[in-house]
């Protein structure tokens, strides 16, 4: 597996552990609808939370969350719509981003709740 894929998997594991430690119930990991993928789907209180995880080894090119473009947001919204229909879920849905910077010394997590909203 390529090094960037390993880094991404490590970031997702860090994000999963963070969410569990903070009371989230993990429903899905790497859920796919066609070519669209949702990294993590979780529940907290009365919310379904769709989480995009972005992992980097440096901030040289900016914060990891800046990589969640409008196009990526549209893909996540489309996949989420289909997840809700397939699973007959009627919960308020929130889109979060967890950015992870992994260095040899430490890992830093930044959880952005309500990072973006569906638009028409």
Has this prediction a pTM greater than 0.75?
Answer: yes
79: phi then psi, degrees, rounded to nearest 5 = -65, -40
Q: Where are the domains of the chain?
A: 3-109
Is the pLDDT score of 34 beyond 90? yes
The pLDDT value given to residue 120 = 61
4 vs 90, higher pLDDT: 90
Of the candidate CATH numbers 3.40.1350.10, 3.40.50.2000, 1.10.3720.10, 3.30.10.20, the domain formed by 3-109 belongs to: 3.40.1350.10
Give per-residue pLDDT as tens, 49-78.
999 999 988 777 778 898 899 999 999 999
Is the pLDDT score of 42 beyond 90? yes
The pLDDT value given to residue 6 = 81
The pLDDT value given to residue 59 = 76
The pLDDT value given to residue 118 = 87
Give one DSSP letter per residue of the chain, joined into a string. Answer: --HHHHHHHHHHHHHHHHHHHTTPEEEEEEEEETTEEEEEEEEETTEEEEEEEEEES-STT--GGGG--HHHHHHHHHHHHHHHHHTT--SEEEEEEEEEEE-SS-EEEEEEEEEE----
Residue 21 CB neighbours (<10 A): 8
The pLDDT value given to residue 61 = 75
| Mean pLDDT score across all residues of the chain | 92
Is the pLDDT score of 37 beyond 90? yes
What sign does the dihedral 33-84-68-72 (CA atoms) show? positive
């Amino acid at each position: 597996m390529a090094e960037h894929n390993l880094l991404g998997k490590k970031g997702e594991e860090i994000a999963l552990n963070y969410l569990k430690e903070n009371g989230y119930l993990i429903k899905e990991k790497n859920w796919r609808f066609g070519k669209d993928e949702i990294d993590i789907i979780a529940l907290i209180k009365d919310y379904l939370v769709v989480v995009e995880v972005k992992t980097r080894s440096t901030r040289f090119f900016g914060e990891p969350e800046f990589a969640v473009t409008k196009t990526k947001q549209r893909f996540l919204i489309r996949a989420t719509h289909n997840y809700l229909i397939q699973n007959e879920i009627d919960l308020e849905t929130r889109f979060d981003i967890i950015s992870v910077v992994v260095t040899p010394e430490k890992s830093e997590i930044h959880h952005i709740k309500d990072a973006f909203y569906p638009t028409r």
